[in-house]
Amino acid sequence: MSKAILTLNAGSSTVKYALFDAATRAERQRGTLEETGASAMAKALEVCRTAGVEVVGVGHRVVHGGTRFSTPARIDDEVLAALEGFVPLAPLHQPHNVTGIKAARAAFPGVAQVACFDTAFHRTRAEVEETYALPRALFDEGVRRFGFHGLSYEYVAGALRTVAPALAKARVVIAHLGSGASMCAVRDGQSVASTMGFSTLDGVPMGTRPGALDPGVVLYLLGQKGLSVSQVEALLYKESGLKGLSGLSNDMRTLLASEAPQAALAVEYFVTRCAREVASLATALGGLDGLVFTAGIGERSSVIRARIVAQLEWLGLGVDASANDRNETVISTASSRAQVLVVPTNEERCIADAVAAVTDAPS
């Protein structure tokens, strides 16, 4: 039986999985299990049995690694307890990740389990990029800019070493534009700054989340309108962003196809805020050598890429229309002051590589 690595991304109602060859890390298959916990793991076992593989390591996508984890961690009881301790920092995601880990440990006894964190990649940032202008005691107890989507950034930064070796050492902004969206300033493969902060709400607008928002709005909703905390939470995580602003859809494709003025406004808001964040992150890098688009919108929407770069023309950036329309890897014009690229992300592959590194290391 060939040896395989299983990656799991446990959410509120589904578990996304992928199977990789343990030695070559070639992807064998991926899919979504429409259930959670023990019943999801029964399905995952069935998938592995049908595929005829022996699972030698399981990698888990974990949203929060707090200030402790800057690299993937082999899961034992103590690590699992630490992950549960981060639930207050990510109450909407972390509990599902923890449930997935517990179920996988029971379903795959004796198999190495590795936690891979969305926050870990950002642990290289300077303190000034990690802090808010709040009383210091709050920073000390964990009210910080953690930054997320780290597995995607790590994968894309690694891919640059192959597709654009010169850029891999340079000053690059990676724009992860999916239904969740954020951007990261990367220098020499390391995170320098990011748009997401303490939670996954901050930064650029998303499908259903607003991106940067004056906290005064939250105080108004709570104090003047009398909304409950859970109502505000639902508003910010599920009803805002492209969906809230357009009143139509959280899907960029629907908005681009619509003639409704509110759809056009939502797209314009998205493009404008993204362009401004690129310039902000370029300042954090002291210049810009590359802009890399990734994730659903970033990989597939030439229109959105062209519109974002058009707002960065003053920085000397330019996109070649036909290369952009063909989703080529390099889409910038020859005269563009920074290269503009499209690099598909693969968070699962990043997790599988981490599992292999952890399980192959001498213990």
Q: By the criterion CB under 6 A, which residues form the site for ligand ADP?
A: 178-180, 207, 251-253, 295-297, 300-301
Nearest approach, Cβ of residue 209 and ligand ADP (Å)? 11
Pick 191 or 301: Cβ nearer ligand ADP: 301
Residue 212 phi/psi, 5-degree rounding, is -50, 135
Nearest approach, Cβ of residue 236 and ligand ADP (Å)? 17
Distances (CA, A) of 177 to 70, 299, 357: 23, 8, 28
Nearest approach, Cβ of residue 208 and ligand ADP (Å)? 10
Nearest approach, Cβ of residue 331 and ligand ADP (Å)? 15
Strand order in the sheet with 339-342: 190-194, 181-187, 171-177, 290-294, 339-342
Pick 171 or 349: Cβ nearer ligand ADP: 349
Nearest approach, Cβ of residue 298 and ligand ADP (Å)? 8
Helix axes 150-163, 347-360, angle to 10 degrees: 90
Q: Are strands 27-33 and 53-62 parallel, antiparallel or unpaired?
A: unpaired
Q: Which of 28, 98, 13 is CA-nearest to residue 348?
A: 28
Residue nearest to ligand ADP (CB): 296
Q: Are strands 15-21 and 2-10 parallel, antiparallel or unpaired?
A: antiparallel
Judge whether 118 counts as a catalytic residue: yes
Pick 108 or 148: Cβ nearer ligand ADP: 148
Q: Answer yes or no: are the C-beta atoms of 252 and 266 closer than 8 Å.
A: no
Lookup: tokens for 127: 């303190």
- 272: exposed, middle or buried (Cβ count in 10 Å: 0-12, 13-18, 19+): middle
Lookup: tokens for 207: 């499908």
Pick 164 or 304: Cβ nearer ligand ADP: 304
* List 21, 118, 188, 325, catalytic entry: 118
Coil/strand/helix, residue 259? coil
Pick 1 or 257: Cβ nearer ligand ADP: 257
Q: Which residues are catalytic?
A: 118
